[in-house]
Amino acid sequence: MKTPITILMTLGLTLSAISQGKEMPLWPNGAPGALGQAPRDIPTLTPFLAPADNNSGSAIVICPGGGYGGLASHEGATYAQFLQKHGINAFVLKYRLGSAGYRHPIMLGDAARAIRTVRTHAKKWKIDPEKIGIMGSSAGGHLASTAITHFDNGDPKARDPIDRASSRPNAGILCYPVITMGKYTHQGSKRNLLGNNPPEELVNLLSSEKQVRKNTPPTFVWHTAEDRPVPVENSLLFASALREAGVPFALHVYQKGRHGIGLADKPPFKNVHPWANDLVFWLKEQGFIAK
């Protein structure tokens, strides 16, 4: 059992070790449910902190896509660099995957821990604890959608200070997301997340369009009508659920574009896909970026 001193020392080491583009483990002493000690068994956050003279005080945890079987770098570090350019502190999450033998709720636990970690360290990292969002693409979008529909207020009696923090994001950003585990799902993502022949109760629990509540945070959703691997119905279903629950949202459906397009650009980001500028506009409306 960890003593309070051990916990504080661990927290201090985590805080002092943070540096741009360097992975830090979400659980320095080992992640719960880990199947081994290889890199694939160690969920991490990689920070891309905003420069001091352009720090909006907001933060976004980024969940790359990859069908719960891999992690796409262009939906991780590239997004982080774009957000960083606009004064947002970005944190790329390396969550555990179905291809490494993990199943729900491990992935959601990693995402929740990421939110708690940023919120716990907010003052040290010059972040407003009420301006922490989560962003994801494709299967990473599904993970982000579960984070904004399955959260808790933290455990005030927890020995680990991070576990005392709320896991509720203040905003969600879903990019061509997998949402449903039903008719329009991406079968590979579903299999990697839930295994073969999951019970109906679990399918419903992880169909995010069925889990929206009035306390789901404001959400930005975008998709393309041409997307075949993850049909646009995923975003339409989620937006409809947000509307019905009275949750503020923005929905953008673009006529053209393949699945996994990302920003369609690299630094210095002179020709990003229109969704990126639409997102910046929306983040200003949410107070995540100064107008």
Domains of the chain: 4-285 (3.40.50.1820)
Percentage of the chain with pLDDT > 70?
93
Could you give the CA distance from residue 260 to residue 223 in angstroms, rounded to a whole number?
10
Q: What is the pLDDT of residue 13?
A: 38
Token pair listed for 277: 């500028």
Q: What is the pLDDT of residue 21?
A: 76
Nearest in space to 47 (alpha carbons), one of 108, 98, 101, 117? 117
Q: Could you read off the pLDDT of 117-150 as tens digits, one per residue?
A: 999 999 999 999 999 999 999 999 999 999 999 9
- Residue carrying the six token digits 């369609």: 264
Nearest in space to 179 (alpha carbons), one of 213, 211, 217? 211
Q: How confident is the model at residue 191 (pLDDT cuts 50, 70, 90)?
A: very high
C-beta atoms surrounding 143 within 10 Å: 29
Q: What is the pLDDT of residue 3?
A: 42
Contact predicate 226/256, CB 8 Å = yes
- Average pLDDT rounded to a whole number, residues 37-42: 97
Q: Could you read off the pLDDT of 195-229 as tens digits, one per residue?
A: 999 999 999 999 999 999 999 999 999 999 999 99
- Average pLDDT rounded to a whole number, residues 95-105: 98
For the chain, give the secondary structure using H, E and C: CCCHHHHHHHHHHHHHHCCCCCCEECCCCCCCCCCCCCHHHCCEEEEECCCHHHCCCCEEEEECCCCCCCCCHHHCHHHHHHHHHCCCEEEEEECCCHHHCCCCCHHHHHHHHHHHHHHHCCCCCCCCCCCEEEEEECHHHHHHHHHCCCCCCCCCCCCCHHHHCCCCCCEEEEECCCCCCCCCCCHHHHHHHHCCCCCHHHHHHCCHHHCCCCCCCCEEEEEECCCCCCCCHHHHHHHHHHHHHCCCEEEEEECCCCCCCCCCCCCCCCCCCHHHHHHHHHHHHCCCCCC
pTM, rounded to two decimals: 0.93
Which is it for the CA torsion 124, 125, 131, 133, positive or negative?
negative
Contact predicate 88/50, CB 8 Å = yes
- Crossing angle of helices 139-147 and 187-194, rounded to 10°: 50
